[in-house]
Structure 1
Amino acid sequence: MAKDKPTKLRARMPRGFADRGPGDLVPTRAMLETIRKVYELYGFEALETPFIEYTDALGKFLPDQDRPNEGVFSFQDDDEQWLSLRYDLTAPLARHVAENFDKLPKPFRSYRAGWVFRNEKPGPGRFRQFMQFDADTVGAPTVAADAEICMMMADTLEALGIARGDYVIKVNNRKVLDGVLEAIGLGGDDNAGRRLTVLRAIDKFDKVGISGVRDLLGEGRWENPEAKSGDFTKGAGLDEEAIDRLLGLFLAYEEADSDALEPGDWPVEQRVAPKSDPNKVMHGVLRRMSALAGDTATGASGVDELGQIGALIETSNYSDRIRIDPSVVRGLEYYTGPVFEAELTFEVKDEKGRPVRFGSVGGGGRYDGLVGRFRGEAVPATGFSIGVSRLASALSYLKTDATPEFGPVVVVVMDRDQTAHYMGLVATLRQAGIRAEMYLGNPKNLGNQFKYADRRNSPCVVIQGSDERANGQVQIKDLIEGAKAAAAITDNAEWRESRPAQFACTEDELVAKVRELLDHHGVPHGAALG
């Protein structure tokens, strides 16, 4: 009777997740280290929170309270309490601060980097696991904390190599929008649903443009507006006067910038006005926002806070990088005051020559009610979150001439019975701070060892046969220079005779010669251990 063949398991990755190799991990690690240094320069300290929190700690900020596993990944513990993988780094911070409130210094300044998880339908560029890097100040009621966060974000982008003029930090205040909504009759709990519809309409500006937002604020919008066909999205049902007022707020920055231009500042050949003096524009924006918010106390408070932030930005000489812009609408409900967004403004081409503009790479704002959920009192807090993967992708376009990442020096094995001696050569290199490894596969085929070194992107290999060992010598093959030389050699005899980019040295010279080779090619290496 024939034996049943064992079932072969199919290797497959869950949808919405990704494996990451050295090409992704090495530059990301360098980017995170740069961000960390800027945050620590501003006095923020590291904090790490668990990947898992009690689901009720996420509270009303869950996508769907009645279904704990909708929007987030959740499961029940053995005591039947619901646990969830964190969907951001802010809710765990709020829990940590509330749990340790009496022990922590206030204000409490921390930064956190880590993976977050969303149980949502994956798609192109939309992952269920992604990394964020946050910085927050908890316990500071002054908007100076908000201004400082924005300044720190500007300094972070520049430290990462993004030139001034290739990014902007936009600042708004939810109170101003709330004031305008009150002024057009959408204040109070009874209008909460319509307010949410308005926010969603404004937030779709990048997708549907100003005319599409106007439709969504009114009766609604067809998927194909000209033909009035496709899906129909019901609008907020506002009248024309209310719509004009809301859109006037949304466009306040662009209109104030145009007003700030003097006659003759618009060159005839230019279709778009050059940007004016940023401080002059900022004051124009604030005047427009104040007029649109009317005499509502909420709107006045928001404009006043933005004015204070603007003054701090102006005094600190950040006006060319940070601007008051009412077009910023952060979707999360827990923002209670200033909100901000970091936007990249440069445009690049993808591998198919199509224009790519990255837009927002991070955002945040003030959330004075989040920590208070655990304490029964408002606790002021503000913070900023960077989308690490999106920012890393943008940086990869800027660093087209970046030095390639090299692997370790490989010591090949010529004689299997001399493994201990080869391991000693590797240890010598490592003690000198040089990345090195001994080939651990089958040493029978020397060609396979060289192929392995090539795949590891090794800068060089160390070779020692019985003759070299008897003379206390090694051969060093420069794989970087060798690849260049090999391209010019077409004859096997010439190859064997020239042995391109290979030289001998004594064992005592090994470290010095390898360092010399690495320095010649700009390959980084560390200092000696111990």
Structure 2
Amino acid sequence: MVGKKPKRVTARVPRGFVDRSASDLRAQDAMLAKIRRVYETYGFEPVETPVFEYTDALGKFLPDSDRPNEGVFSIEDDDEQWMSLRYDLTAPLARYVAENFEALPKPYRSYRAGYVFRNEKPGPGRFRQFMQFDADIVGAPNVSADAEMAMMMADTMEALGIPRGQYVIRVNNRKVLDGVLEAIGLGEEDAERRLTVLRAIDKLDKFGVEGVRLLLGKGRKDESGDFTPGAGLGTAGIDVLIEFLDASSVGVVHSAAFEPKENPKLADMKGGVLRKMPATLVHNKIDLHANQKFSDGEAELDQIRLLSEMAGYGPDRIRIDPSVVRGLEYYTGPVFEAELLFPVTNEKGEVVRFGSVGGGGRYDGLVSRFMSQPVPATGFSIGVSRLMTALKNLGRLETSRRTGPVVVTVMDRDRMADYQAMATQLRNALNTDEAGNPTEVPVPVEVFQGNPKQFGKQLQYADRRDAPCVIIQGGDEKAAGKVQVKDLALGKELSAQITDNAEWREARAGQEMVDYAPESPDAMIAAVRAILSRQSGGKG
């Protein structure tokens, strides 16, 4: 149709995805640097895998797979092979290790941070794209590797400023849970139903005991009306599982004060950490310790407890907890979660405990999917976005850089080359030390690139950018071999004390006129350095 205006596109972010500001990204970078430092002190080295993997390489391990494409985002390549965005960082690592097995040192310690994608129903605090930061040891069959993972997570929490008493690393074992499931009649032949049970238990901190009861039984309807089918267990089986999730019911035992001089042999430590069994099992005369899987899992938990306590990580930091499950199918042994214990206010205004910010465990079968030999592995993943929220609640989130940009203002469009030269001189001088080495924290310098007609708009821009100062040189200053350096913070302070317009013009609040020539910028550089030092309290 003639004269019809094109339809305007609506600006909107896709559901389940978020935009992030500069302060968010700086805070994330600072947090990742602290995590990376801890990982590297344990001997881990970085590796990066692509965000896309062939769908069959990822495997069908994702929980809540009641979405199209098994809970992942998938596309078909032009060679008719399906590729999917990775849903975690562990499955891609398994592929990487298998593909490069002969070239890698064994055990292989690696870490990586990156975005993962879940084709799940978005909700409050639940996104389709989020960042994880993983560390894994591939090729280590001993439970001491799992204990080391738990210890490293405790160190990471404290490196991020979360004090003892406000976090705990909770540890359980899938073999223990397998033994309990066999005790209530769910054997290996009922794998799909067992997985439904495990995923239901994994939602204990989200839905509470009654919500888990529903998921273990007929199912649960959420607030939106969507129904999740349950595992279909009977009342007796549900009672056993609910009781077992309660550490006080099971009777988890930790050493009150471990003495390293006793040096008990690991082989002698068996059957001690889960001494008291749920009343329902006792009543039904079911002895879990007679189940080989349960006994093996309990012995591994004993070793983790012993190794942790010998290294100085008591139950205030690393704690055996039967309620830890982890929803992913590929875990085969110890599983662990980093839980934050301090209260926060949720979206409904309710005061709740913050909960889990990371988890992981042993996955001895994942790499072996690609190979003809068994490859043991264990790892841990931190939920970066969720942990950032936690640090913000604690007031430990580094959200700002040291300074905004020094802004070189534009008084004459035809002199852009002069202004760029000033910016280059400042940029080089402010970002190197006396020996010519780059400074640790950069000082940005920029030339104003907007419309220079209204000088007041340039100062508003500098103020919005949190600039410490601006450089001003019009035709008069150039003819006199001068520049004006305006301290914006001091200018605000002085202007607040002046009420008369004539006095304000005369005072030129916060401005200093200094000598300047293109071949001799030292006075300008010194004036800017003085302002930066003053605004930082003399630091730097």
**Taking structure 2 as the reference length, what is the TM-score of the superposition?**
0.84
Q: Deviations over 1:284-304 (max 9, x none)?
A: 743237996321111111011
Q: Which residue of 1 aligns with 2:22?
A: 22
Match of 2:291 among 281, 291, 296: 296
Match of 1:508 among 514, 522, 538: 522
Q: Distance in 2 between matches of 1:279 and 1:288?
A: 21
| SS state at 1:10 partner | coil
Q: Which residue of 2 aligns with 1:414?
A: 411
Q: Deviations over 1:149-188 (max 9, x none)?
A: 1111111111111112111111110101111222333223
Q: Which residue of 1 aligns with 2:184?
A: 184
Cα displacement (A) at 1:417: 2.7
Q: Which residue of 2 aligns with 1:162?
A: 162
| SS state at 1:287 partner | coil
- Is the 8 Å Cα contact of residues 38 and 152 (structure 2) preserved in structure 1? yes
Q: Which amino acid counterpart does residue 205 of structure 1 have in structure 2?
A: L
**CA distance 1:371–1:185, change in 2 (3 Å):** same
Match of 1:337 among 308, 324, 333: 333
- 1:233-382 equivalence runs, <5 A: 236-240=232-236, 242-253=237-248, 256=251, 277=256, 285-288=273-276, 293-319=288-314, 320-349=316-345, 355=351, 357-382=353-378
Q: Deviations over 1:445-494 (max 9, x none)?
A: 11111111122221211112233333433222222233344444444334
Q: Deviations over 1:365-411 (max 9, x none)?
A: 00000000000332101111111111111112222796744321101
Cα displacement (A) at 1:64: 9.5
**CA distance 1:211–1:373, change in 2 (3 Å):** same
**CA distance 1:221–1:125, change in 2 (3 Å):** closer
**CA distance 1:318–1:520, change in 2 (3 Å):** farther
**CA distance 1:66–1:77, change in 2 (3 Å):** farther
| SS state at 1:390 partner | helix
- 1:406-445 equivalence runs, <5 A: 406-432=403-429, 433=431, 434-445=443-454
**CA distance 1:321–1:489, change in 2 (3 Å):** farther
Cα displacement (A) at 1:354: 5.1
**CA distance 1:54–1:204, change in 2 (3 Å):** closer
Q: Deviations over 1:21-52 (max 9, x none)?
A: 20211111111111111111111001011111
Q: Which residue of 2 aligns with 1:270?
A: none
- 1:122-141 equivalence runs, <5 A: 122-141=122-141
Q: Distance in 2 between matches of 1:172 and 1:78?
A: 44
- Is the 8 Å Cα contact of residues 285 and 325 (structure 1) preserved in structure 2? no
Q: Which residue of 2 aligns with 1:264?
A: none
Cα displacement (A) at 1:348: 3.7
Q: Deviations over 1:3-33 (max 9, x none)?
A: 4434433333222222212021111111111
**CA distance 1:503–1:210, change in 2 (3 Å):** same
**CA distance 1:402–1:178, change in 2 (3 Å):** closer
1:518 aligns with 2:516: no
| SS state at 1:60 partner | coil
- Is the 8 Å Cα contact of residues 251 and 326 (structure 1) preserved in structure 2? yes
- Is the 8 Å Cα contact of residues 115 and 132 (structure 2) preserved in structure 1? yes
Q: Which amino acid counterpart does residue 203 of structure 2 have in structure 1?
A: K
**CA distance 1:412–1:236, change in 2 (3 Å):** same
Q: Which residue of 1 aligns with 2:198?
A: 199
Q: Which residue of 2 aligns with 1:477?
A: 486
Q: Distance in 2 between matches of 1:154 and 1:411?
A: 47
**CA distance 1:469–1:352, change in 2 (3 Å):** farther
| SS state at 2:309 partner | helix
1:89 aligns with 2:79: no
Q: Which residue of 2 aligns with 1:393?
A: 389
Cα displacement (A) at 1:223: 6.1
- Is the 8 Å Cα contact of residues 55 and 82 (structure 1) preserved in structure 2? yes
**CA distance 1:278–1:50, change in 2 (3 Å):** farther
Q: Distance in 2 between matches of 1:101 and 1:431?
A: 46
Q: Distance in 1 between matches of 2:375 and 2:228?
A: 42
Q: Which amino acid counterpart does residue 513 of structure 1 have in structure 2?
A: A
| SS state at 2:112 partner | strand
Q: Which amino acid counterpart does residue 502 of structure 1 have in structure 2?
A: Q
- Is the 8 Å Cα contact of residues 68 and 74 (structure 1) preserved in structure 2? no
- Is the 8 Å Cα contact of residues 338 and 359 (structure 2) preserved in structure 1? yes
CA RMSD of aligned residues (A): 3.3
Q: Distance in 2 between matches of 1:248 and 1:67?
A: 32
**CA distance 1:490–1:125, change in 2 (3 Å):** farther
What percentage of residue pairs aligned between the two structures are identical? Answer: 62
Q: Deviations over 1:235-272 (max 9, x none)?
A: 643353x4454334311257647x99xxxxxxxxxxxx
Q: Distance in 2 between matches of 1:497 and 1:347?
A: 54
Q: Distance in 1 between matches of 2:228 and 2:407?
A: 63
**CA distance 1:476–1:91, change in 2 (3 Å):** same
- Is the 8 Å Cα contact of residues 169 and 336 (structure 2) preserved in structure 1? yes
**CA distance 1:215–1:96, change in 2 (3 Å):** closer
**CA distance 1:197–1:57, change in 2 (3 Å):** closer
**CA distance 1:351–1:328, change in 2 (3 Å):** closer
Q: Which amino acid counterpart does residue 389 of structure 2 have in structure 1?
A: S
- Is the 8 Å Cα contact of residues 338 and 357 (structure 2) preserved in structure 1? yes
**CA distance 1:117–1:489, change in 2 (3 Å):** farther
**CA distance 1:65–1:497, change in 2 (3 Å):** closer
Q: Distance in 2 between matches of 1:490 and 1:354?
A: 48
Q: Deviations over 1:51-101 (max 9, x none)?
A: 111111012325699997341111111111111111111111010000011
**CA distance 1:430–1:330, change in 2 (3 Å):** same
1:32 aligns with 2:32: yes
Q: Distance in 2 between matches of 1:43 and 1:105?
A: 12
- Is the 8 Å Cα contact of residues 116 and 131 (structure 2) preserved in structure 1? yes
| SS state at 2:450 partner | coil
1:43 aligns with 2:38: no
**CA distance 1:350–1:452, change in 2 (3 Å):** farther
Q: Distance in 1 between matches of 2:226 and 2:129?
A: 33
Q: Which residue of 1 aligns with 2:436?
A: none
| SS state at 2:124 partner | coil
